[in-house]
């Protein structure tokens, strides 16, 4: 996904907080469609906030979404069993 393109409802994006992600959810029907038209929720942070198509929040207290092409590349190229490689490395295997 190129930087600056529209966010996808239902997709999980990384946040600027390390190790935490948030999902873009469907906004309420009566929500105003202004500059910040995407509603985001994080179960870990236990909060919801509005962001624009660049992932920038509508206030300074909410984290920014990391919207980059590397998100999808990292998900598809991640090893399925990284724990096995970890154990193999520390058991003396090379």
DSSP letters for 15-56: ESSTT-EEEEEPPPTT---SS--EEEEETTTTEEEEE-TTS-
For the stretch 56-84, pLDDT in tens is 999 999 999 998 765 454 444 444 444 44
Best CA proximity match to 65, nearest among 11, 26, 78: 11
Q: What is the pLDDT of residues 35-62, one digit of tens each?
A: 888 999 998 889 999 999 899 999 999 9
Domain boundaries, the chain: 12-90
Cα 77 to chain center, whole Å?
17
pTM for this prediction: 0.64
Q: What is the pLDDT of residue 39?
A: 93
- At residue 86, what are phi and psi to the nearest 5 degrees? -65, -45
> For position 31, what pLDDT does the model report?
80
């Amino acid at each position: 996904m190129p930087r600056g393109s529209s966010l996808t409802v239902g997709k999980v994006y990384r946040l600027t907080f390390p190790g935490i992600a948030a999902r873009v959810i469907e906004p309420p029907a009566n929500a105003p469609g202004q500059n910040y038209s995407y509603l985001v929720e994080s179960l870990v942070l236990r909060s919801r906030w509005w962001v624009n198509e660049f992932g920038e929040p509508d206030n300074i207290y909410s984290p920014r979404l990391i919207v980059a092409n590397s998100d999808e590349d990292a998900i598809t190229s991640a090893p399925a069993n990284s724990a096995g490689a970890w154990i193999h490395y520390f058991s003396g295997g090379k």
